[in-house]
């Protein structure tokens, strides 16, 4: 049995203006595991990913969160990031005034194994090539004027540069063409290399899901986990959608 990497217990989240979004979630991701989180639009998948990094737009109303067995419920966003949790945003923001390059340098300083000048540059160039990103993007302001696909690639670039312990990928594949999705797959595979890393993938893209080694699948409907299982769940959803689960959630709720 490998060690627990991320564990949420009885985890309930509301927006700051007190709209409940997630209800009593229980989920454990062990080192080396890749989990998939699926659910209809508005189920709360992004909220979950974002709350794992303590997004101030949400608050934890109940429960706790452990990372490598340490209770991190009270830790702020940057502290959690420094512990090794990474979120690939569904909609990365533009930040005018900060160049991608300076940003990467600053972010990498917080990684477990910070890279020094030359190594940093070398690794960066390699990854840029893998992701088919142009060098000149580095001098541009972070995400400013980047297309949706480019932003997703920049998220992947950060994932690979930072090499965190746990990666949450929120619809990393949406809005990408097939070539770009394949590039993302390469990135994910690269990250999955060691059996120390954990992953939570939020995606419905069969092209990606079929090509990854997946340990567990969780179905989130209306803020509740209504089913846990293996990759057979992915097939079922691919064929029948969420209807069975939505009915189930509906019954359970009333």
Ligand X SMILES: Nc1ncnc2c1ncn2[C@@H]1O[C@H](COP(=O)(O)OP(=O)(O)O)[C@@H](O)[C@H]1O
Residues contacting residue 117 through CB under 8 Å, at least 6 positions apart: none
User: Does residue 46 touch ligand X according to CB under 6 A?
Assistant: yes
User: Does residue 73 touch another protein according to CB under 8 A?
Assistant: no
The only residue of 10, 106, 194, 247 in contact with another protein, by rule CB under 8 A: 106
Residues contacting residue 71 through CB under 8 Å, at least 6 positions apart: 64, 65
User: Does residue 55 touch another protein according to CB under 8 A?
Assistant: yes
Burial class (CB in 10 A: 0-12, 13-18, 19+), 132: exposed
User: Does residue 145 touch another protein according to CB under 8 A?
Assistant: no
User: Does residue 241 touch ligand X according to CB under 6 A?
Assistant: no
User: Does residue 78 touch another protein according to CB under 8 A?
Assistant: yes
CB closer to ligand X out of 45 and 80: 45
Number of residues that bind another protein (CB under 8 A): 34
User: Does residue 102 touch another protein according to CB under 8 A?
Assistant: yes
* Binding at 18: pick from Mg ion, another protein, ligand X, none (beta carbon under 5-8 Å per type): none
The only residue of 59, 82, 123, 211 in contact with another protein, by rule CB under 8 A: 82
How far apart, in whole angstroms, are the C-alpha atoms of residue 165 and residue 175? 26
The only residue of 20, 42, 175, 250 in contact with ligand X, by rule CB under 6 A: 42
Which residue has its beta carbon closest to Mg ion?
46
How far apart, in whole angstroms, are the C-alpha atoms of residue 212 and residue 88? 17
CB closer to ligand X out of 56 and 117: 56
How far apart, in whole angstroms, are the C-alpha atoms of residue 192 and residue 34? 8
The minimum distance between CB 91 and another protein, in angstroms, equals 9
Residue entry with tokens 């509906």:
250
User: Does residue 39 touch ligand X according to CB under 6 A?
Assistant: yes
How far apart, in whole angstroms, are the C-alpha atoms of residue 237 and residue 40? 10
3-state DSSP call for residue 164? coil
User: Does residue 253 touch ligand X according to CB under 6 A?
Assistant: no
User: Does residue 149 touch ligand X according to CB under 6 A?
Assistant: no
Tell which residue, 166, 165, 109, 138, has the closest CA to residue 153. 138
How far apart, in whole angstroms, are the C-alpha atoms of residue 119 and residue 116? 6
Number of residues that bind Mg ion (CB under 5 A): 2
Q: What are phi and psi of 70, to 5 degrees?
A: -95, 135
How far apart, in whole angstroms, are the C-alpha atoms of residue 172 and residue 169? 6
Interface with ligand X (CB under 6 A): 15, 19, 21, 39, 41-47, 57
**Which residues are at the interface with another protein (CB under 8 A)?**
50, 53, 55-57, 76-78, 81-82, 86-87, 89, 92-99, 101-103, 105-107, 109-111, 139, 141, 158, 162
């Amino acid at each position: 049995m490998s060690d627990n990497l991320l564990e949420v217990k009885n985890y309930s989240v509301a927006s700051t203006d007190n709209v409940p979004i997630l209800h009593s979630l229980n989920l454990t991701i062990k080192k080396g595991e890749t989990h998939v989180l699926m659910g209809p639009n508005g189920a709360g998948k992004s909220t979950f990913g974002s709350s794992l990094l303590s997004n101030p737009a949400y608050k934890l109303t109940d429960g706790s969160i452990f990372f490598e067995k340490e209770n991190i419920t009270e830790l702020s966003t940057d502290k959690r990031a420094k512990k090794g949790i990474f979120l690939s945003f569904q909609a990365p923001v533009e930040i005018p005034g900060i160049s991608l390059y300076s940003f990467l340098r600053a972010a990498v300083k917080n990684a477990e194994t910070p890279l020094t000048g030359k190594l940093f540059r070398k690794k960066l160039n390699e990854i840029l090539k893998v992701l088919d990103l142009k060098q000149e993007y580095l001098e541009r302001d972070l995400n400013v004027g980047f297309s949706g696909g480019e932003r997703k690639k920049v998220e992947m670039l950060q994932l690979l540069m930072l090499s965190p312990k746990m990666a949450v990928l929120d619809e990393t594949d949406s809005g990408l063409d097939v070539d770009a999705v394949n590039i993302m797959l390469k990135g994910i595979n690269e990250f999955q290399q060691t059996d120390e890393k954990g992953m939570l993938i939020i995606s419905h893209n069969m092209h990606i899901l079929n090509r990854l080694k997946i340990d567990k699948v969780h179905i989130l409907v209306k803020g509740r986990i209504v089913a846990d299982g293996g990759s057979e769940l992915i097939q079922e959803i691919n064929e029948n959608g969420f209807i069975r689960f939505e009915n189930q959630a509906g019954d359970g709720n009333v």
